[in-house]
Amino acid sequence: MPKLPEAVNRARAAVGGVLEAEKLALIACSGGADSLALVAAAAHHVRRGQARVGGVVVDHQLHPDSAEITAKAAAQLRDLGLDPVLTLAADVDPSSPDGPEAAARSARYRAFGQALAETGAAHILLAHTRDDQAEQVLLGLARGSGTRSLAGIPARRGPFLRPLLGLSRKETEAVCTHEGLSWWEDPANADPKYLRSRIRTEILPTLEQRLSGSIRESLARTAQIAAEDAAYLEAQAKEAFARLLEDPDEQGDLRLDLERLVAESPAIRRRVIALAVVAVGGSNPSSERIAAVEQLLVRQGSAGPVELEGHVRAERGTRDTSDYGKLVLGPRR
């Protein structure tokens, strides 16, 4: 038998490392090279009787030929032996204040949740590659949002697994070529109005040319190191949060001891504040909002409230109240 391309072996090994024979997994497929390569690698294990794998193709309904593209992708999945194969329409809100990319992502993940519920699958495999990881790190640098952002795309989060983070986009195309699969090139991937597209088509190629030909590998390695550091710091912050937390009151407010919070290192303190915001029903706060809360801790100037994401407020207890010496967080009133 002719020797298999190295990209095919690498993809099969990566996917085989996350599949479990007794549990159904779904492949999220857009019809692009990355997701079709993921399908082909999983299909190899299906043919060998080593895994149960189905697929889910989400039609975002944003391209005039989206129904045809979706149908073609689903047909290729079935031809490769995946079962079941679901095609789901995503309800994308074009007026979302978070922008079209975020709106499409939210709609896509709602469809993924529906697919998990309908099939009873344990996991959904997503086809992010090392190139996606490099782009995500640059996005994190642009936003200046800290270690967790630099950690990029996680290999595993909840039911979602990303086994191809160690492969490049060129390798996924090589897999598709070997398997005789034709993939769709989403024009949005090259549209300069999207920041990620500009990073992909302009910034990364310039960095490769002017800085280092291995910049993508270096950025992906940075993400791995940052992820390990972030995981450790977050574990430490959870322990500190549990130590500093008082029982929430009937109004849903919680309190943290100011003096002990200030004594924590800045890296832990910021994470404790973020955990407290989420604990009272808010969203993960931005670094700017966390910095505003930290200004309350110095016991000078305004005692707040500081408004945070998710309709949450933070304020410092004043001398004439029972909350003196405490940071109080709760729903806005």
What tokens were used for 332? 């806005």
CA-to-CA distance for 326 and 243, rounded, in angstroms? 14
**35 annotated to a ligand binding site:** yes
What tokens were used for 274? 């973020």
In 46-134, beta strands by DSSP E: 52-59, 85-89, 123-125
Alpha carbon 133 to its chain centroid, in Å, reads: 10
In the chain, beta strands by DSSP E: 24-28, 52-59, 85-89, 123-125, 156-157, 160-161, 254-257, 306-308, 312-316, 326-331
**91 annotated to a ligand binding site:** no
Helix then strand count (H, E) for the chain reads 13, 10
**55 annotated to a ligand binding site:** no
CA-to-CA distance for 163 and 112, rounded, in angstroms? 17
**218 annotated to a ligand binding site:** no
CA-to-CA distance for 97 and 43, rounded, in angstroms? 39
**186 annotated to a ligand binding site:** no
Residues 6+ apart with CB under 8 A from 214: none
- Annotate 216-254 with b (16+ C-beta within 10 A) or e (fewer): beebbebbeebbeebeebbebbeebbeebbeeeeeeebb
**49 annotated to a ligand binding site:** no
Alpha carbon distance, N-terminus to C-terminus of the chain: 71
**Binding site members for ATP:** 30-35
**Binding site members:** 30-35
